[in-house]
Amino acid sequence: MEERMPLLGEKFPEIIVKTTHGVLNLPEDLKGKWTVLFSHPGDFTPVCTTEFVSFAKKSGEFEKLNTRLIGLSIDQVFSHIKWVEWIKDNLDTEIPFPIIADDMGEVSKKLGMIHPGKGTNTVRAVFIIDENAVIRLIMYYPQEVGRSIDEILRSVKALQLSDKNKVAMPENWPNNPIIGDKVIIPPAADYKTAMERKNSGEGFDWWFKTKNL
């Protein structure tokens, strides 16, 4: 059966993986924390190196959000270890998170991370997984474009605040050009509520109501 990329709202698939920090049983070992799982095309490549350094420098901010980082590529564990060592020696940066060694490609195939037009290299995928091991956000980047770690961090914050407050987040929250750092109240589900909202609260219309958190 052909593997397909999992969909938003689905549970993360069950996989046992080898990492630079030992064996992980996914998604069992993910429960109770949010997770950012990100793949990279290969060790000892320039764009990936810039991403890993930025993930490492922002790792404390992810930890404050109860979020762990996990890297992945099809390289073997010894390659990951040597690359991590190179980054420490040459860029003065410790990589504090585990890196999955998907040398057989099994994990990448399950998650749809291998692009048929790019050989066996994994694409730059990002999976944000919540504390119940549910996939909440997926981002895909081509090999030639590095990711914004700040955007991934922003996305985790937005998802967590959305869950906690039952609201939606505007474009580029908390720096939206229309409503700033306010959030959006979900639209009314019936006529009576819509009319009640029409002339009450902050916002522009009954379907576009905002508030401060």
Q: How far apart are CA 135 and CA 9, in angstroms?
A: 5
Task: Decide if 157 is inside a domain.
Answer: no
CB atoms closer than 10 angstroms to residue 7: 8
Q: Which residues contact 68 (CB under 8 A, 6 or more apart)?
A: 30, 33, 34, 35, 36, 62, 97
pLDDT of residue 151: 97
Q: Which helix (H) or strand (E) holds 195?
A: helix 191-198
Same domain for 106 and 198, yes or no, is no
Task: Decide if 63 is inside a domain.
Answer: yes
Which one is catalytic: 17, 48, 87, 159? 48
Same domain for 24 and 109, yes or no, is yes
pLDDT of residue 71: 96
Same domain for 116 and 205, yes or no, is no
Same domain for 171 and 92, yes or no, is no
Section 32-56 average pLDDT: 95
* pTM, full prediction: 0.92
| CATH number reported for the structural domain that contains residue 177 in this entry | 3.30.1020.10
Task: Decide if 54 is inside a domain.
Answer: yes
Q: Is the pLDDT of residue 213 over 50?
A: yes
Same domain for 58 and 121, yes or no, is yes
Same domain for 170 and 138, yes or no, is no
Number of domains in the chain: 2
48 is catalytic: yes
Tens of pLDDT, residue by residue over 133-144, are: 999 999 999 888
Task: Decide if 10 is inside a domain.
Answer: no
Task: Decide if 43 is inside a domain.
Answer: yes
Domain boundary, last residue among 90, 115, 147: 147
- Considering the chain, what is the average pLDDT of its residues? 92
Q: How far apart are CA 33 and CA 51, in angstroms?
A: 22
Q: Is the pLDDT of residue 1 over 50?
A: no
Q: Is the pLDDT of residue 21 over 90?
A: yes
Same domain for 29 and 131, yes or no, is yes
Tens of pLDDT, residue by residue over 147-168, are: 999 999 999 999 999 999 999 9
Task: Decide if 25 is inside a domain.
Answer: yes
Report residue 22: phi and psi, to 5°: 105, -170
Tens of pLDDT, residue by residue over 24-41, are: 999 999 889 999 999 998
Same domain for 207 and 170, yes or no, is yes
Two tokens at 212?
């401060």
Q: Is the pLDDT of residue 2 over 90?
A: no
Task: Decide if 161 is inside a domain.
Answer: no
Tens of pLDDT, residue by residue over 168-178, are: 999 999 999 99
Task: Decide if 128 is inside a domain.
Answer: yes
Q: How far apart are CA 179 and CA 173, in angstroms?
A: 9
Query: Angle 106-108-114 (CA atoms, 0-180°, nearest 5)?
Result: 125
Using CA atoms, how far residue 4 sits from 71, 112, 130, in Å, is 20, 6, 21
Same domain for 143 and 63, yes or no, is yes
Percent of the chain with pLDDT over 90: 69
| CATH number reported for the structural domain that contains residue 48 in this entry | 3.40.30.10
Same domain for 179 and 137, yes or no, is no
Domain span at residue 31 reads 15-147
Same domain for 188 and 142, yes or no, is no
Percent of the chain with pLDDT over 70: 95
Same domain for 142 and 170, yes or no, is no
